[in-house]
Amino acid sequence: KAGGRGKFELFADNLGEAVRDKRLLETDLREALNTGEGLHLVYQPLLDTRAGEIAGVEALVRWQHPSRGRMSPAEFIELAEERGLIDQLGMWVMREACRFAASSSVPWVAVNVSPIQFRDEHFARRVFNLLAETGLPPKRLEIEVTEGLLLQNSPVVQSTLMLLRAKGIRVALDDFGTGYSSITYLRNHGVDKLKIDRSFTAQLGQNEEIDSIVRSIIDLGRAMRIVVAAEGVETEDQRELLSEMGCNQLQGFLLSRPLTPEKLELMLQRWLPS
Ligand code: C2E
Ligand code: CA
Ligand code: CA
Ligand code: CA
């Protein structure tokens, strides 16, 4: 009995530690959001395959934690979602990205938006206010959402997407192929871009089935007049295959890693038509 209890206490203790650890991280994230310290954005360019120019960039958030060092968004986005901080973080990212794009020669900036942010019925209005505040034209903003969002099939989500698109903001479906969105969802919601998930790109040219799926997505995009982008392009072979298939935009380490604004500007000087 005593041994069993000891085990339970040990378990409870570990659990307590994990909870405390998360609480500490939450406090730090709150602090970072309030001061803006430690948070910054990097930008990864997308190549327009036809023009051979940079089409636009995707903003990706980074957090330099005071003691834990550089943290991946994969770690702290979920925390922010769980602890009710994602609206604040999301808006911080959106403001920073719009401010940057407004002062840069980059054609457009894409911002990742969590499905939770769409629960706010005033989300579209908040975005419009940010555009007004930063002076960024709506045509230069793209919003990346995941398939799961469309699956929720909620009226708030539908009307928010409608408002955003009516204003001229484009909506891209991120990680396409990993969820369950059907052609019906695509037609009902209306999106401007499909981003083929990295897991498909990684197997291109090595797996006939994957090749056909990717080809079908690109054909589907053409039929529906939706731009198709591929993420995670790392090799010359992948680039060639995707270009041949008619993929409109390519993103990945082959072209560039995510860059600081300064490094991106240097790259734009070389890649944009003057
Ligand atoms: P994602 O939206 O699919 O973003 C692409 C991720 O793939 C980025 O990781 C990027 O650095 C990485 N990547 C780009 N090219 C390549 C490549 O060629 N090979 C490989 N292996 N990886 C590549 P990152 O920056 O760590 O972001 C991870 C995820 O975190 C994002 O996935 C996105 O879901 C989320 N995220 C990032 N920033 C934000 C944000 O501001 N708001 C929200 N809600 N989520 C964000
Ligand atoms: Ca994305
Ligand atoms: Ca993605
Ligand atoms: Ca992905």
pLDDT of 139 reads: 98
Q: What are the tens digits of pLDDT across the range 250-270?
A: 999 999 999 999 999 999 988
Distance 254 CA to ligand 4 centre (A): 16
Q: For 133-154, what is the mean pLDDT?
A: 91
- pLDDT at residue 2 is higher than 70: no
Pocket residue to mutate for ligand 1, from 231, 233, 234, most atoms within 8 A of Cβ: 231
Asked whether residue 1 carries a pLDDT value surpassing 50, the answer given is no
Q: Of ligand 1's atoms, which has the minimum distance to the CA of residue 72?
A: 26
**Burial level of 273, CB count in 10 A (0-12/13-18/19+)?**
exposed
Contact 195, 217 (CB under 8 A): no
- CA 100 to ligand 3 centroid distance, Å: 21
Please provide the average confidence, as pLDDT, over all residues in the chain.
92
Mean pLDDT on 187-195: 88
Alpha-carbon distances of 101 from 131, 137, 179, 188, rounded to whole Å: 11, 10, 30, 30
Q: Please give the pLDDT value at position 14.
A: 74
| Tokens representing residue 126 in the block | 């908040």
If you search the block for the tokens 């997407």, which residue do you land on? Answer: 161
The alpha helices in the chain, defined as continuous H runs, are 2-35, 73-82, 86-102, 123-134, 147-151, 155-167, 183-189, 198-203, 208-223, 236-245, 261-271
Which amino acid residue places its CA nearest to atom 15 of ligand 1?
252
pLDDT band at 150 (very low <50, low <70, confident <90, very high): confident
The pocket around ligand 1, CB under 6 angstroms, is made up of 44, 60-61, 72-74, 77, 90, 93, 112-114, 174-175, 198, 231-234, 252-253, 258
Tokens linked to 28: 């730090």
What predicted TM-score, i.e. pTM, was given to this entire model? 0.93
Residue whose CA is at the smallest distance from ligand 1 atom 46: 112
Instruction: Give the pLDDT of residue 15.
Output: 73
Percent of the chain with pLDDT over 90: 78
Q: At 106, is the secondary structure helix, strand, or coil?
A: coil
The reported pLDDT for the residue numbered 110 is 99
Tell me whether 0.90 is exceeded by the ipTM.
yes
Whether 33 and 92 have beta carbons less than 8 Å apart is answered as yes
Answer whether residue 179 shows pLDDT above 80.
no
Identify the CA nearest to 47 among candidates 231, 245, 274, 262: 231
Which 3 state secondary structure label does DSSP give 224?
Answer: coil
d(CA 130, ligand 4 centre) in Å: 26
Give the residue with greater pLDDT, 74 vs 227. Answer: 227
Task: Please state, in angstroms and rounded to a whole number, the distance separating the CA atoms of residues 107 and 53.
Answer: 10
Q: How confident is the model over 46-75, as a mean pLDDT?
A: 95
Distance CA 256, CA 266 (A): 12
Atom of ligand 1 nearest to the CA of 41: 41
pLDDT, residue 36, reads: 85
Give the separation between CA 79 and CA 172, rounded to whole angstroms: 24
Q: Ligand nearest 40 Cα, by number?
A: 1
Token representation of residue 127: 């975005």
What is the maximal distance between C-alpha atoms in the chain?
A: 78
Determine the Cα–Cα distance for residues 196 and 221; give it in Å rounded to an integer.
11
Q: Quick: pLDDT tens for 27-56.
A: 999 999 999 899 999 999 999 999 999 999
